[in-house]
Structure 1
Amino acid sequence: MNKPRIESTTTFTTAACESRDVILSSTERFLSDFHDLRPGITSNAFQALPAIKGGNNAASSYEFLAEIVPRVSTPLTVLDIACGDGYLLELIHLSRSKTATLIGVDISAGELAAAELRIGKNATLISERGQEMSMSTDSVDIVLCHMALMLMDDLEVVIAEIRRVLKPGGTFSFIVGAKPERSIALDLYIQILRRARNDLNSTIPRFGDERLADDAKIERLLSVHFGNVLIEIISISRRYSPLDMCRWFESMYDLHGIPHDIQESMKREYVNALTTKCDSDGFVAFTDALRQVTATAF
């Protein structure tokens, strides 16, 4: 895969975070700008959604990643790539291992500032890309990533870099989206969104590696550096009012760049249309699917 054009730089510096110059592609700049304006948007969208995997229930999909970290008192280094506002790092610190050395990397200064407020000195936070990280070779026991790997440029480079920092026998576990069940709630949102973007002649950058939507391709991607690949489906089901369903969709990237007045018009149209499709209690069911992949470094 060819590297995208490099066009901008950013530096993040606070007392709790290491400062590095980060050179971003146009796609990465879009993602960074989005999260700078909305720190914590991903964790807020997913942390309150109960999840099921293989018959096991969890408070959220984040819990399934946190469970990868054993409750041990021996030294352990855990790296969260695209750590956002530090929700997963805090979860690990509070529920799994207070003795673990926690590291979070992200390209968004806004997210890192929120992470500093959330987890403080309990983690090292670094502004950098997954393609080139500052950790020493063979220095990390566990690498985790929640809903971000599929957005990264140069996926082979990222995977090779993850393997470089992982110790042999170390664990890499990530969660990405999977194809959801068809639903009136999603279909209606996509219909309204596409019409609005067509009317505005507006697009968002194309990002994401489609190979992460296919089990066989995931296994091939990881096979150079990892073995014991386990792929599991996580189901997230909920019942929302039309307004709450609309608010959840607003956490996605799709609305970025659409003027506020048009977003409000889209919201009114969506809520009014979905209200006619609700069950007798005024709610509509929606089931989402995620894919958790766990592998062992060679």
Structure 2
Amino acid sequence: MTSDAEAYLKDFHQRRVGTTRRAFATYAARSAQAEYLSSYHALAERVPNDAMPRTIVDLACGDGPLLEILNDRGNSATKLIGIDISNGELAAARAVLSPNVRLINERAQALSLETGSADYVLSHMALMLMDDIEQVMGEIHRVLRKGGKFVAIVGRAFLLGEVGEVFLNVFRPIGKAHLAQIRFGDSRTRSEDGWRELLQHGFSDITFEDIDVDWLPTPEQLWQSMLETYDTDRMPEAGREQFKRELLTAVTPMQREDGKLKTGWALRLVHASAE
């Protein structure tokens, strides 16, 4: 049976196609090890850019920004496959991607791909939302060849810095009063120890890289981005109006001289090899 969380996510991404692209595709990302054009590029750079034949799966591909980056490399021997549960996101992806990119509408918990058929399984900001994560990881391991690579970007913290602290202080009481409880994903996907547990069977060479995405929105831009988050979307109108009023009141004094707020998103890159 489809859970309340999965049903909601399918509905949200049908109504708000391209949300994840809008949040992450245009902002530079950085870590202690490297700088990236975006968090999508951080994933793409884990795949060698050469003429070797490879099959790359983008799990929960959305409207296709990662697949675009990989396809634009022009490596004709690379086979790209995008998988997503949202028909709306896949339709948007089909409109911008090469016909050579294969797109599949199915759940990550039951992939139709052949065993050992993929060299890379990549995923951007999705695994921490999925039901039955152990089943998902089992499917990822099944479709990877021995020595194949699993690489994912997941959330580490929502908003960086003082803006993040203020956001939580405002949001928590409003969310408690107005939001029905829906459990998104497995808590193990939110920590390194949790990922080590999830990857302990069938994977080796597990590494992590903390990545920050810098963002300088105006207060109004910050609010517009909140409208494309699951929690704000689920709020009744009265709760949403209260959230907007209190959040803007709290962050407006934090503006820099140029009117912008200094914040961003904290992400984690997870990398492992299939045994």
TM-score, length-scaled by structure 1: 0.85
Q: Deviations over 1:2-41 (max 9, x none)?
A: xxxx1xxxxxxxxxxxxxxxxx322211111111101110
Cα distance change on mapping 1:244 and 1:98 into 2, 3 Å: farther
**How many Å separate the matches in 2 of 1:234 and 1:29?**
30
Alignment of 1:127-276 (within 5 A): 127-179=105-157, 183-200=161-178, 202-260=179-237, 262-264=239-241, 266-276=243-253
Give the gaps of 5 or more residues in structure 1: 1-5, 7-23
- Distance across 2 between alignment mates of 1:198 and 1:218: 28
- Aligned equivalent of 2:3: 25
- Equivalents in 1 of 2:66, 2:41: separation in Å? 8
- Contact kept, 8 Å, 1:85 with 1:114, in 2: the verdict is yes
Partner of 1:49: 27
- Does the 8 Å contact 2:28/2:213 carry over to 1? yes
Q: CA deviation at 1:218?
A: 1.1
Tell me, in whole angstroms, the C-alpha distance in 2 between the residues paired with 1:262 and 1:26: 21
CA displacement at 1:117 relative to structure 2? 0.9
The answer (yes or no) to whether the contact 2:27–2:213 under 8 Å persists in 1 is yes
- Maintained 8 Å contact 2:227/2:233: no
Worse-matched range after superposition: 89-98 or 164-173 = 89-98
Matching residue of 1:117:
95
Distance (whole Å) between structure 2 residues aligned to residue 266 and residue 27 of structure 1: 22
Q: Deviations over 1:166-200 (max 9, x none)?
A: 11110110011113676332233334333434444
Shift of 1:244: 1.5
TM-score by length of 2: 0.92
Residue from 52, 59, 67 that aligns with 1:81:
59
Q: How far 1:248 moved relative to its partner?
A: 2.5
Alignment correspondent of 1:290: 267
Secondary structure of the corresponding residue to residue 121 of structure 1: coil
Quote the Cα distance in structure 2 between the aligned partners of 1:153 and 1:257: 19
Q: 1:94 to 1:120 in 2, by over 3 A?
A: closer
How far apart in 1 are the matches of 2:206 and 2:265? 23
Letter of the 2:254 partner, please give it.
K
Give 1:269 shift.
Answer: 3.6
User: Are 1:50 and 1:237, in contact at CA under 8 Å, matched by a contact in 2?
Assistant: yes
Query: 1:47, CA displacement in angstroms?
Result: 0.7
1:230 and 1:55 mapped to 2: Cα distance? Answer: 13
Q: Offset of 1:132 from its aligned partner?
A: 0.7
Does the C-alpha gap of structure 1 residues 120 and 25 become closer, same or farther in structure 2, counting only changes over 3 Å?
farther
Contact 1:70 1:96 in 2 (8 A): no
- Give 1:129 deviation, angstroms: 0.8
1:257 deviation in Å?
A: 2.5
- RMSD over aligned CA atoms reads 2.0
AA at the equivalent of 2:154: V
CA-CA distance at 1:282 after TM superposition: 1.9
Distance in 2, Cα, partners of 1:81 & 1:125: 10
Worse overlay, 94-103 or 136-145? 94-103
Flag the 1:98–1:266 CA change in 2: closer, same or farther, 3 A.
Answer: farther
Output one character per residue of 1:45-76: Cα deviation in whole Å (capped at 9) or x when no partner: 00111101234111111001111222222321
Q: Number of matched residues?
A: 275
Is the contact between residue 178 and residue 291 of structure 1 (CA under 8 Å) also seen in structure 2?
A: yes
